[in-house]
Amino acid sequence: MRGDLSRSPLAFREQAMDYQTLKSEPVFEGKVFKVRIDEVATPSGSRMRVDVVEHRGAVAILPIDQEGRLWFVRQYRHPAEGWLLEIPAGTLSSDEDPEDCARRECREEVGMAPGRLELLGAGFMAPGYSTEYIHIYLASELTPSPLPQDEDEDLRVVKLTWQQALEAMGSGEIQDIKTLAALGLAHVRGLADA
């Protein structure tokens, strides 16, 4: 794998110096994100309007226990209008370290504290319109250490073998992109025993 996986998205700004934000207008501020409209001058001299969702960033965690089972959550996702099978994940608090967030989210969502975290990858979730940058971790050496779930979360813990997880990927049962990315990254690194 190339490069430093923990690099901030700000490190890539130098590559976009030919694009200039002329105007930025805030239009919405919610609990999880803000929305703004930017007017941008392009290198060719034209202007474009870009709707931007500002997001603090997130983490996703692929927990694996001592028996080799992967821990998922099945939770209701209103925008998707259904229950999705996904790995534990969460939004960073202001100035929170991604690894600290990953440890907290793993405890909140599946009740297990990781003794070891390994960064599998990091990147933008939807760079066409969002600033959300996600860090994806493999969590191992799990020990029971539950934290209370967020009051608006309805989660069911699901444990799968690697083979079952790969079958869920192939069948389309897993429709959450961060989960597909985590499983793919783990597989590419040879972590899957399938």
Residues that are catalytic: 151
- With contact defined as beta carbons under 8 Å apart, do 175 and 87 qualify? no
The neighbour count for residue 98, using CB atoms within 10 Å, is 20
Residue 25: other Cβ atoms inside 10 A: 10
Which helix (H) or strand (E) segment holds residue 174: the answer is none
Residue indicated by tokens 């991604």: 98
Sign, CA torsion 88/77/125/170: positive
CA proximity to 6, closest of 189, 187, 136, 183: 136
55 closest CA partner among 87, 22, 30: 30
Yes or no: say if 160 and 74 are a contact pair by the CB < 8 Å rule: no
Q: How far apart are CA 115 and CA 113, in angstroms?
A: 6
Which structure tokens are listed for 85? 């099978």
Per DSSP bridges, beta strands 33-41 and 89-91 are: unpaired
